[in-house]
Amino acid sequence: MRRWHSLSAVLLLWGCGEGRLETIEAPATAPAPGRGDDGDDGAGGDDEPMAPPDEGLPGEAPAGPPFRPSPATLHRLTRTQYVNSVRHALGDVRLPDDLEVDTPLHGFSTVGAAELTISPRAAEQFEAAALDVTGQVFDDASRRAALVGCEPADAACVRDFFARFGRRAWRRPLAPEEIDRLAGLHAELTGSFRDPWAALRFTVAAMLQAPDFLFRAEVGEPDPADPAKRRYTNHEMASRLAYFLWSSPPDDALLDAADRGELVTDAGLRAQAARMLADPRAREAMRAYFGEYLSLGELDHLEKDRATFPQMSDTLGRSMRAEIEAVVDHLVFERDADFRELLTTRETFVNAELAALYHLPAPEGEALVAAELPADGARGGLLSMAGVLAVNAHHTVTSPTRRGKFIQANLLCFDVPPPPPGVVTNLDGVGGEGPQTTRQKLTRHAVDPTCNGCHQHMDPIGLALENFDAIGAWRTTESGLPIDATAGVQGVAIDGARALGALVREDAQFGDCMARRMYRHATGHLEERGEIGVVRRLGREFREGGHRVVALATAIVLSEGFRGAAPPSDEVEMPAAEGGN
C-alpha cells in the first residue's frame, strides 16, 4: 500500500473539493490535505519552489534540498524540565502546584518553549517557587550542610559552592564575573541578615530565577573542521541530549564528557546516548513524548456523560492513559521491539476498571498488570485501546471523523484542513426520520462533494472502529440498530479495529511520520525546508532498521539536524502595534 489518499485530493485546493473562498481572501498557501504539513513548504522567505508532497515509493524519496540547519535559539524549560531541573539542583523538594502549564505548538511543548517567553505571572510563579524550594533546603541544617559542604561564613567556601552548584544549575562552567556577581549578592545579604546561610538561600533563589536556569541558551560556534558551518558547543549539546533523552538536565558524567570535548564527535555522542537511553529517566522522558505524539493529554481530565456511561469514574481516563504508556514502555524499553507491534499487539496492561471495560479477569490492587487480549477477540493494538477511542470521540457519541483524523494526522502525518468557512456542518435531517447510526448520519459527508473531498480521508477509517463507543467500550448496536464496522480503505475491504491496525502497520508512512514527529520534539521546532533530507533519512533508517525507537532516538542525536546550528535569528517578530499609544 502506498497512499491513503487519492491522487486527485492532492490537486484540490482548500476545502478538498469545492472552492468556498470567494468571500474572503485566500491565505498565501491555500491548505490542501496532504503530507506537506511539515516544512515541505519551506520556512518562508526563500525563493525555492514549494516541494510537492512526497511522491514515489518509500525508500525512493528524493534527498530533498541541501541541508541547512535551523537557527540556534533560547529554549525555555518546559514545566516538566523545570521541575526535574530544580530537583537535580536541590534534591527531593516539593514544587508548588501552580506552575504555568506548557503552551504546545505544532503538537509539542518543546516547540512552544522555543517560541514563548516569561510573562509577568510566570516570573511571579518562578520567584515564589524559588523561595519555596530553597526554604525547604536551607531551613534544614543537615540538608543545607549536605548541599553546600562547607561553612558559608568563609568567602572561599561560597565561591567554590557557586562554581559547583552553578555548573549543576546552569549546566555550564560559570564565568568569573558571574561568580563575582553571586558572591557580591551573598555578601550584601549577609550584611542585611547577619546570617550567611540565609544569604546563601536567597542567592540560590536568584540562580533558580536567572535566565541561565529558566532557559537553555544556544548560540553555537564555528565548526573547526569547516568554519563555514556552525555547530552547537559541547555544553549546548550536553543540554540538548539531556532534555531530549531525559527531560532533565545533564548529569555530572555528561558535563564531564562536554568538558572533554566528546559531545561533538560521533563516538562520544553514541556512547552517551547509549548510556542515557538505558537510564530510567529516558523512560520517563519517552512517556512524555508519546503523550504528546498520541495526543493523550485530555485523558488526565476526561469528561464523559456519566448518565450515558455509568462506568466513567474520576480515575478511568488516567487508567486509560497509563495503559497506553505501559504498552509503549514495554515495547520500547523492555523488548526493543518493532514499534509497529503497537498497532497489533495483544499484550497489554490493565487495572480493575480497565479489565471491566475490556471484559478481562480483574487483577488485584490498583496497579496495572500485564494481561493478554484473546486471540479471537475484537481488540488488539493501539486503535482499540480505550484511551485513543475515548479522546477521539465526543462526550456521548463516537466520531469516526475524529478517529480517522487521529490516524491520518498523528500516525501518518497526513493533515486535513478544517471545514471551509460558511459551511453548515451539522448532519441532522440526513436520511429521514427515525433512529440512525452514526454511519448513516455520516453519509452526508460521502454524498456531498463539499464534504467528501476531505472526509473521504477520515470517515471510512473511523467507521472501522464503530464497535467501540465514546469511552471505548464494546458495542454491537447503536440506537437499537446493528453496528457495521466494515470500511473500504485504500480499496481494501476491512472489518473492525484489528484489520485497520494491520493495515496501518504496513504503511511506510507510519515509520516516516514517527521519525518526523520525534525529530520535531527533539529539536524544538517545526522542521524546515533545509532539514527535509535529514528527516527522510531518519524515517528510512527507522523503517529499514526494524522500527526500533531507541535506535531512532540515537539516530536523531547523531544527525546533523540535531548538531548543526545556524546563527541566532535577527528577525524580530513584533511588528509595530498601531493604536498602541
Partner 1 sequence: MDRRTFLRGVLGGAAATIALPTLEAMLGSNGDALADGRPIPTRFGVWFWGNGVRREHWIPDGEGTGFRPRAELAPLNDVRDWVSPVTGLEIKTATHPHHSGMTGIMTGMRYHQVGTTRDTIVSTFAGPSCDQIAAAAFEGQTPYRSIEVAVARFRGTDEGTTFQHLSHNGPNNVNPSEYEPRRVFERLFGMGPTAPQLDFARKSVLDVVNAQIRGLQGRVGARDRQRLEQHFESVRAIELRLAAGAARCATPGAPADFPDVDGREQLAERNVAMSELMALALACDMTRAFSVMYSSAGSGVVVWPAGANNGLHQMCHDEGAPQPTVHRAVVFIMEQLAHFLRRLRDTPEGDGNLLDHCSILCTTELSEGNVHSNDEFPILIAGKGGGRLRGGVHYRSHGRENASKAVLTALRGAGIPLGGFGAEAGHVTDSLGALEA
Q: How far is the CB of 103 from partner 1 (least distance, A)?
A: 6
Nearer to partner 1, 26 or 155 (CB): 26
Residues written for the chain: 581
Query: In angstroms, rounded to a whole number, what is the distance separating the alpha carbons of residues 255 and 234?
Result: 9
Among 8, 265, 396, 477, binds partner 1 (CB under 8 A): 396
Nearer to partner 1, 208 or 494 (CB): 208
Cβ-in-10-Å burial (0-12, 13-18, 19+) of 479 comes to exposed
Q: How far is the CB of 106 from partner 1 (least distance, A)?
A: 6
Query: In angstroms, rounded to a whole number, what is the distance separating the alpha carbons of residues 231 and 562?
Result: 9
Contact in structure between 152 and 197 (CB atoms under 8 Å): yes
Residue ranges in 25-44 that form contacts with partner 1 under rule CB under 8 A: 25-27, 29, 31-32, 34, 36-44
Sign of CA dihedral 543, 546, 549, 551: negative
Residue ranges in 429-468 that form contacts with partner 1 under rule CB under 8 A: 429
Tell me, by CB under 8 A, how many residues bind partner 1. Answer: 113
Q: How far is the CB of 73 from partner 1 (least distance, A)?
A: 6
Residue ranges in 232-261 that form contacts with partner 1 under rule CB under 8 A: none
Among 176, 422, 431, 449, binds partner 1 (CB under 8 A): 422
The number of angstroms, rounded, from the C-alpha of 48 to the middle of its chain's C-alpha atoms is 30
Cβ-in-10-Å burial (0-12, 13-18, 19+) of 199 comes to buried
Q: How far is the CB of 572 from partner 1 (least distance, A)?
A: 5
Taking residues 486 to 525 in sequence order and writing x for each that binds partner 1 by CB under 8 A, - otherwise, the string is: ---------------------------------------x
Taking residues 167 to 186 in sequence order and writing x for each that binds partner 1 by CB under 8 A, - otherwise, the string is: -----------x--xx--x-
Contacts of 247 (CB under 8 A, 6+ apart): 78, 80, 81, 84, 281, 284, 285, 288
Q: Does 64 bind partner 1 (CB under 8 A)?
A: no
Question: Position of cell 488516567?
Answer: 318
Residue ranges in 80-139 that form contacts with partner 1 under rule CB under 8 A: 98, 100-101, 103-107, 112, 115-124, 127-128, 131
Nearer to partner 1, 128 or 481 (CB): 128
Nearer to partner 1, 59 or 96 (CB): 96
The DSSP line for 35-70 is STTTTTT-SSS--SPPPPSP-S-TT-----SPP-PP
Residue ranges in 291-310 that form contacts with partner 1 under rule CB under 8 A: 297, 301-308
Nearer to partner 1, 311 or 344 (CB): 311
Which helix (H) or strand (E) segment holds residue 349: the answer is strand 347-350
Q: How far is the CB of 211 from partner 1 (least distance, A)?
A: 5
Query: In angstroms, rounded to a whole number, what is the distance separating the alpha carbons of residues 548 and 511?
Result: 10
Question: Position of cell 558572591?
Answer: 183
User: Which of 328, 377, 324, 374 is CA-nearest to residue 354?
Assistant: 324
Nearer to partner 1, 117 or 477 (CB): 117
Among 1, 8, 24, 431, binds partner 1 (CB under 8 A): 24
Among 58, 65, 71, 173, binds partner 1 (CB under 8 A): 71
Query: In angstroms, rounded to a whole number, what is the distance separating the alpha carbons of residues 482 and 485?
Result: 10
Q: Give the Cβ contact number of residue 189 at 10 Å.
A: 19
Among 426, 432, 433, 480, binds partner 1 (CB under 8 A): 426
Q: How far is the CB of 191 from partner 1 (least distance, A)?
A: 10
CA 528, 568, 81, 133: dihedral to nearest 10 degrees?
-160
Q: Is 243 left (phi over 0), alpha (psi -120 to 50) or beta?
A: alpha
Q: How far is the CB of 30 from partner 1 (least distance, A)?
A: 8
Among 421, 449, 488, 546, binds partner 1 (CB under 8 A): 421
Contact in structure between 114 and 573 (CB atoms under 8 Å): no
Cβ-in-10-Å burial (0-12, 13-18, 19+) of 419 comes to middle
Question: Position of cell 506548557?
Answer: 102
Among 67, 193, 333, 474, binds partner 1 (CB under 8 A): 193
Residue ranges in 520-539 that form contacts with partner 1 under rule CB under 8 A: 525-526
Query: In angstroms, rounded to a whole number, what is the distance separating the alpha carbons of residues 391 and 9?
Result: 27
Q: What is the DSSP letter of 321?
A: H
Nearer to partner 1, 189 or 383 (CB): 189
Q: How far is the CB of 107 from partner 1 (least distance, A)?
A: 7
Nearer to partner 1, 435 or 575 (CB): 575
Q: How far is the CB of 273 from partner 1 (least distance, A)?
A: 27
Among 1, 423, 481, 492, binds partner 1 (CB under 8 A): 423
Query: In angstroms, rounded to a whole number, what is the distance separating the alpha carbons of residues 402 and 408?
Result: 10
Q: How far is the CB of 171 from partner 1 (least distance, A)?
A: 14
Nearer to partner 1, 215 or 474 (CB): 215
